[in-house]
Amino acid sequence: MKKLLLSSIIVIVGITFIGRLSYLQIFSFSPNQVLEDTAIKAIYDYPERGYIYDRNGELLVANQPAYDVMVIPREVKALDTLEFCSLLGIRKTQFVDQLKKARVYSPRLPSVLVPQLSKEDYARLQEKMRKYEGFYIQKRSLRFYATNSGANVLGYISEVNESDIKRNPYYKQGELTGRTGIEKQYEDVLRGIKGVKFIQKDRFNRVIGPYKEGSLDTLPEQGKEIHVTIDKVLQEYGEKLMHGKRGGIVAIEPGTGEILTLISGPTYDPALLVGRERSKNYSKLHYDTISKPTWDRALLAQPSPGSPFKTLNALIALQEKVIKPETTIRCYNGFYVGNKKRGCHCGGGLRNMNSGIYKSCNAYFAGTFRKIYDKYPTTDEGMDVWEKHMKSFGMGDFLGYDLPTGRKGRIPNKEYYDRVYGDNRWASSYIISNAIGQGEVAATPIQLANMTAAIANRGYYYTPHIIKTISGEPITNPKFTNPNYTTIDKENFDPIVKGMANVYKIGTAKWLRIPGIEIAGKTGTVENYTKIDGIRTQLTDHSVFVAFAPVENPKIAIAVYIEHGYYGARYAGHMASLLIEKYIKGKITRTDLERRMLEKTLEAEYAKPYSGEEFKINEYVW
């Protein structure tokens, strides 16, 4: 025992040590050494973010320099605080606070004292900077907007947060990333790839030299410039028309699926979210929960589509051969569901498909809708067929466009009604509102525009997209270059297009004709309700309009949705007409129409529900 004592201790100690070493060096070892090593500092070289141009090569977004005043607390010498503060344009308490914060962070490392000086402030400061030891100016790059419109579609960039870093380890604290819109969608393209230089540091964080003679360093890869499908002129014009109104406008080039304009009202100047006032402005926009300027109505609003939806029901009825264009249905200034009468504004009388569309007859479409269902032995089967046709137009689901936000809209199916009314406890009379685009159906403005494009193309559409070229290379993504065919045969479109053209010639939008351009369109007036103090209250109708032009070989398909704009031909119809003229002719000939749209706002209408008083809806004042 006594002879073995030391030997066994030696062996036990050896085993313990090797055990501990294998725990440290084999089990705890992380292969991600270079990035976690406190002795190695990665210094990043950020490439310039790519510019964004519109479809005609007009600059939309570029970069501008900004100047941060930095401080290294240890090196600060006594200074004339008052003069320095007035140069920086900050209060003295603010200066003292920031300096204290910087010292807490690290006395040896630079911290930002005042972020993002303007060029003018920088010029004033620059020559006097030498006087203040421990302070210096660091240049960085911010976004510069060559337009004051398109805030929601362009999006903005902001510093990454913890969850971004967790999701994508490429990002490090303090770096910028696209947060919404195009900036977010094409982040990888615009951003480029940062270069990295590894530097060996000592424990005081002083640089000793390059790590491994720089063998692991990489060069930055430039961000790519992109051209988007937006037409800057049209976008700016549309936003001007949208002034004082809430709603969304989407215009698509039917032949390509390119999004010509994507307008959401109210909007804001994208430059608000850049620079020193950024967080103040952001809070103001973000917390405006009444007009919601950051909420992209063109992509996210999903009201009932209203009468434009009738065109799809007509197409389905033709495809299912339950009706012919000449088939007539009588309108009794309304129609009956059971023994309950629903109204119609078309004037009554015999309606066929043509007049049903251009007079927007509710009774005609209720009858047509019923015929689709009556073809099948059960409502379930009818519903399935109807849903299949609807979905082929991109309704009721995400369209798959290249922007980061969206809504599915809604095409109710039998599961939906089973859920609402109970299994098989509903019939076609329950769903009759869908015939005229009211009731359960819902669609976003971009879905309406896309549906219009499909009608303009007589049977197919290209998935709407915002990207046109990357570094000058046109996109090749088959998702955007291959057409999606609807379930409706080409010849069935002709009667519908004819009806829609008559909307402008003799129908609900005959006052909105554009000389020299033949347009096809459809008005929509959408009843809507809200709850005020818990009571279901009807508000002024939403004004909806879809159109495409020219009728032959269409160049633009557009959907306009104006909240509380009353009947379709009013706000939405006017704006659609003006935008089409602007896009096709490049100028406006009907200046009275234009002036009316620029001057009129709906702010009084929007204030009504918040007034706390009784109010009238759908007033005829114009």
Partner 1 sequence: MSGKSVLRRVDWFTIFIFLLLISIGWLNIYSSTFSEENKSILDFSTLYGKQLFFIGISLVAIFILLSLEANFYERFSSVLYIITMVLLLGLFVFGKTIAGATSWYDLGFFNLQPSELAKFATALALAKYLSDIQTDIKRRKDQLFAFVIIIIPVLLVIPQPDPGSALVFFALVFVLFREGLPLIYLWIFFMAVLIFITTLMFGTIWVSISLILLIAIFLLLKRATFKVPILPLSLFFVIAVVFSLSVNFVFENVFEQRHRDRFSLWLRLEKDPEKLEEIRKTIGYNTYQSEKAIESGGFFGKGFLEGTRTKGDFVPEQHTDYIFSTVGEEWGFVGSATVVLLFSILLLRLVYLAERQRSDFSRMYGYGVISILLLHYFINIGMVIGVLPTIGIPLPFFSYGGSALIGFTALLFIFLKLDANRLKEWI
List contacts with partner 1 (CB under 8 A).
1-3, 5-7, 9-11, 13-14, 16-18, 20-22, 24-26, 28-29, 31, 33, 37-40, 200-203, 208-209, 211-212
Q: If DSSP states are collapsed to H, E and C, what string results for 183-208?
A: HHHCHHHHHCECEEEEEEECCCCCEE
| Closer residue to partner 1, CB minimum distance, 120 or 213 | 213
| Closer residue to partner 1, CB minimum distance, 28 or 173 | 28
Residue pair 394/484 in contact by the 8 Å Cβ criterion: yes
DSSP assigned state of 118: -
| Closer residue to partner 1, CB minimum distance, 8 or 283 | 8
Beta carbon of residue 208, minimum distance to partner 1 (angstroms, whole number): 6
Kindly tell me the burial class for residue 394, based on how many C-beta atoms sit within 10 Å of its own C-beta (0-12, 13-18, 19 or more). Answer: buried
Question: Coil, helix or strand for 528?
Answer: strand
Beta carbon of residue 417, minimum distance to partner 1 (angstroms, whole number): 54
Beta carbon of residue 161, minimum distance to partner 1 (angstroms, whole number): 21
Distance CA 500, CA 161 (A): 50
| Closer residue to partner 1, CB minimum distance, 3 or 531 | 3
Beta strands in 242-303 (DSSP E): 247-253, 258-265
Beta carbon of residue 4, minimum distance to partner 1 (angstroms, whole number): 9
Question: Coil, helix or strand for 529?
Answer: strand
| Closer residue to partner 1, CB minimum distance, 32 or 476 | 32
Beta carbon of residue 28, minimum distance to partner 1 (angstroms, whole number): 5
Distance CA 82, CA 336 (A): 81
| Closer residue to partner 1, CB minimum distance, 196 or 514 | 196
Beta carbon of residue 203, minimum distance to partner 1 (angstroms, whole number): 5
Beta carbon of residue 156, minimum distance to partner 1 (angstroms, whole number): 35
| Closer residue to partner 1, CB minimum distance, 171 or 198 | 198
Beta carbon of residue 470, minimum distance to partner 1 (angstroms, whole number): 39
Beta carbon of residue 107, minimum distance to partner 1 (angstroms, whole number): 17
Per-position b or e across 599-611, b if 16+ CB within 10 A of its CB? ebebeebbebbee
Residue indicated by tokens 């936000």: 405
Residue pair 608/586 in contact by the 8 Å Cβ criterion: no
Distances in Å between the Cα of 100 and the Cα atoms of 93, 105, 205, 277, 340 are: 11, 9, 20, 23, 74
Cα atoms in the 13 Å half-sphere on the side-chain side of 280: 3
| Closer residue to partner 1, CB minimum distance, 20 or 490 | 20
- DSSP symbols for 139-175: EEEEEEES-S--HHHH--EEE--HHHHHH-TT--TT-
Residues counted in the chain? 622
| Closer residue to partner 1, CB minimum distance, 90 or 216 | 216
Beta carbon of residue 202, minimum distance to partner 1 (angstroms, whole number): 4
Single-letter amino acid code for the residue at 613: E
Residue 583: CB atoms within 10 Å: 21
| Closer residue to partner 1, CB minimum distance, 206 or 531 | 206
Single-letter amino acid code for the residue at 559: A
